[in-house]
Amino acid sequence: MMCLDVGLFAFILFGTLCASLTCISISFDIFKAGDTNDDSKLDFKEFLQYLKDHEKKMRLAFNSLDKNNDGVIDTSEIIAALKSLGINISEAQAKNILQSIDTDGTMTIDWDEWKYYFLLHPARSIEDIAGFWKRYTIIDIGESIAIPDEFTEQEKHSGDWWRRLVAGGIAAAVARTCTAPFDRLKLMMQVHSLKSGRMRLIGGFEQMVTEGGIRSLWRGNGTNVFKIAPEAAIKIGAYEQKWLSFDGAKVGIIERFVSGSLAGVTAQTCIYPMEVIKTRLALGTTGQYSGIIDCGKKLLKQEGVRTFFKGYIPNFLGIIPYAGIDFAVYELLKNYWLEHYAGNAVDPGIMVLLGCSALSHTSGQLASFPLNLVRTRMQAQALEQKGTTSMIHLIQDIYNKEGKKGFFRGLTPNIIKVLPAVVISCVAYEKVKGYLGLI
């Protein structure tokens, strides 16, 4: 086999890179890594130095994966390497990763295959390479969209992290607004249980429209949308503290899930008064409140500060089953599809992901709905004019008067809105990403 001189090879590669610099995102990473004198230019000397330094880092990464020092990397070594980073993948997924690099069909990766595969990707370590695999081959790491993802250093420096947060926030606002009528109907059925026992979907909507017109279907949605930004900011900030990462230890899937749950609890605690205001606005009659501020002032004056934390305990308890089941079901369904139906693909496809997400959210809501109902009843106790009741007494009262079915009042509209919300959120997110310059 004829071997190219390193300098000649670099020259050819440099010319190819320059020709495609404007249309390949990875090229921009190389440009930033190679521009050592920060003159916003990448000359041939800098590019050649980049290749030499990058090859050394790739050799170290290759050796760290090649645990048995046999000169090749196999599927078991890929699985072990990613597991050490808290990323669990199946053997089928590991084979798909291996096949994407393996050029000679041996089902192993030697140094040459490894080097040329990562030549145009400035990954500096196994962590960077795992991030590359995760992003570009869509490895399932068992994460739910309810649990904040970690941002890479590149995303933090480039500003992509806040763009992703903005895109996610806008998508959530659009989805919540589109499904707000179902959310309000759920609250009405949860609180006015004895009356709503005869209420059906169409009848419920007709009752709301008769009382306050079409606009009343979105009553309380402003608060629901307004609290997205502070909730996301607090959740991400709390999650970034990495409470479960000690002495530089890697955070695995379980730790990441628990950290995400703790972050969710922190965010819910901080914005919980807005949850109460949203509920009271949605249950209020036309003209009772002029807006969020007016509702907050009236609640403070008439019921005191404590009213803003009514139902907090069942809300806190409900986070655990919802997040846990949502997390587990999503991972189980997605992994099952990849194992049995994906073939050689590592990308489940948008329809499969939407289906997994909808089913996992539905399962989580079924498990946490009784506590959600108790929370809503406690938030709205003043409307019933029956005084304050403790959580335990309220649970007993619901069971004695309405039976087991009483804990699932309003479940139907809540389940109906899941799939549309997931689809709308996904489509809106992809659209907003394009406008914000995200790939």
* pLDDT recorded at residue 376: 92
Tokens of 341: 């139906």
Model confidence at 109, pLDDT cuts 50, 70, 90, reads: confident
Q: Which pLDDT tens digit goes with each residue over 32-64?
A: 554 555 655 555 566 566 667 767 777 777 888
Distances (CA, A) of 279 to 73, 219, 298, 353, 411: 56, 9, 14, 31, 16
* pLDDT recorded at residue 239: 62
Most confident region among 139-148, 193-202, 347-356, 395-404 by mean pLDDT:
395-404
Average pLDDT, the chain: 75
Check residue 51 and give left, alpha or beta (phi > 0: left; psi -120 to 50: alpha).
Answer: alpha
47-137: CATH architecture: Orthogonal Bundle (1.10)
Taking the whole predicted model, whether its pTM rises above 0.75 is answered as no
* pLDDT recorded at residue 136: 38
Region 249-258: mean pLDDT is: 58
**Which range (169-173, 198-202, 248-252, 324-328) has the least confidence?**
248-252
Residue 390 and residue 403 in contact, taking contact as beta carbons nearer than 8 Å: no
Residue 422 and residue 161 in contact, taking contact as beta carbons nearer than 8 Å: no
Which residue, among 313, 372, 426, 401, has the nearest Cα to 186 in the 3D structure?
372
Domain residue extents for the chain:
47-137, 168-435
Between these two residues, 280 and 192, which has the higher pLDDT value?
280
Token pair 């046999």 in the structure block, residue? 70
The CATH class for the domain spanning 168-435 reads mainly alpha
The half-sphere exposure of 367 on its side-chain side, counting CA atoms within 13 A, is 19
Model confidence at 146, pLDDT cuts 50, 70, 90, reads: very low
Residue 195 and residue 384 in contact, taking contact as beta carbons nearer than 8 Å: no
* pLDDT recorded at residue 17: 41
Q: Around Cβ 225, how many Cβ atoms within 10 Å? A: 19
Q: Which pLDDT tens digit goes with each residue over 83-101?
A: 776 666 777 777 777 777 7
In sign, the C-alpha dihedral spanning 115, 116, 119, 120 is negative
Element (H, E) at 48: helix 44-65
Region 384-396: mean pLDDT is: 79
Residue 121 and residue 29 in contact, taking contact as beta carbons nearer than 8 Å: yes
**Which range (35-49, 340-354, 422-436) has the least confidence?**
35-49
Which residue, among 400, 332, 380, has the nearest Cα to 188 in the 3D structure?
380
DSSP string, 182-210: HHHHHHHHHHSHHHHTT--HHHHHHHHHH
* pLDDT recorded at residue 213: 92
In sign, the C-alpha dihedral spanning 316, 321, 322, 324 is positive
Between these two residues, 45 and 422, which has the higher pLDDT value?
422
Between these two residues, 216 and 323, which has the higher pLDDT value?
216
Distances (CA, A) of 132 to 82, 124, 138, 152: 12, 11, 9, 10
Res. 179: pLDDT tops 80: yes
Most confident region among 59-73, 158-172, 254-268 by mean pLDDT:
59-73
Res. 263: pLDDT tops 80: no
Res. 121: pLDDT tops 60: no
